[in-house]
């Protein structure tokens, strides 16, 4: 899947309050997660995803996030190929924080 065809969304398309039927999957490393993440997000580092993919429901809409969008684009592409309902957050946590969205640590 080419980068242009990875299902992607922008910060402007995400409601300020994440709906309960939407999963945010954070694929950053532990130290990045500890520094601040989206409240309620599921943390599965990219390096652990193949072993932990069973923790995700393929039918549940999922937004994949990393620091700037590169790792999450790769994860989104892989999960999409496995039949998951996923989109990549363009700009990742950089855009989330630049938009003034809250994080927890």
**Which residue carries 């549940």 as its tokens?**
60
Residues annotated as catalytic are: 66
pLDDT in tens, 35-66: 999 999 999 999 999 999 999 999 999 999 99
pTM of this prediction?
Answer: 0.94
Identify the pLDDT of residue 2.
54
The pLDDT of residue 1 is above 80: no
- Cα–Cα separations (whole angstroms), residue 5 to 48, 71, 76, 81, 88: 24, 15, 11, 12, 11
Backbone angles phi, psi at 4, to 5 degrees: -70, -25
Q: Which two tokens stand for residue 54?
A: 């069973």
What domains can be seen in the chain, in order of their start residue? Answer: 3-98 (3.40.250.10)
Q: In the chain, pLDDT over 90 holds for what percent of residues?
A: 93
Q: Which residue has the higher pLDDT, 4 or 102?
A: 102
Q: Assign 16 a pLDDT band (cuts: 50, 70, 90).
A: confident
How confident is the model at residue 5, as a pLDDT? 80
């Amino acid at each position: 899947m080419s980068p242009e065809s990875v299902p992607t969304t922008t910060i402007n398309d995400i409601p300020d309050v994440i709906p309960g039927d939407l999963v945010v999957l954070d694929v950053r490393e532990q130290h990045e997660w500890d520094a601040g993440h989206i409240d309620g997000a599921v943390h599965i580092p990219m390096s652990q995803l193949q072993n932990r993919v069973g923790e995700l429901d393929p039918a549940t809409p999922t937004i994949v996030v990393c620091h700037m969008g590169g790792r999450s684009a790769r994860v989104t592409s892989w999960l999409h190929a496995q039949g998951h309902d996923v989109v990549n957050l363009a700009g990742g946590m950089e855009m989330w924080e630049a938009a003034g969205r809250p994080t927890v640590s």
